[in-house]
Amino acid sequence: MHVLDEHGSLDQKSIGSLAAVDRSTLTPLLDRLVARGLITKNTDPGNRRRQLVRPV
């Protein structure tokens, strides 16, 4: 959440890099934050392989 507060909307790879969290840890963490209504994850319209994460 701190990374998103500082940088705004980011893709999952950037969040992992800035937070020093590997992908296998980051994905379930983000899923829990989505379930709690703290963030949203949407497909990047410019690159459908990327997920953009935004704070609510």
**Per-residue pLDDT reduced to its tens digit, 17-46:** 999 999 899 999 999 999 999 999 999 999
Dihedral of CA atoms 52, 47, 24, 55 in degrees, nearest 10, equals: 0
The pLDDT assigned to 51 comes to: 93
Beta strands in 1-56 (DSSP E): 10-11, 39-44, 47-55
**Per-residue pLDDT reduced to its tens digit, 2-24:** 999 999 999 999 999 999 999 89
pTM here is: 0.85
Q: What is the domain partition of the chain in residue ranges?
A: 2-55
Top CATH class of 2-55 equals mainly alpha
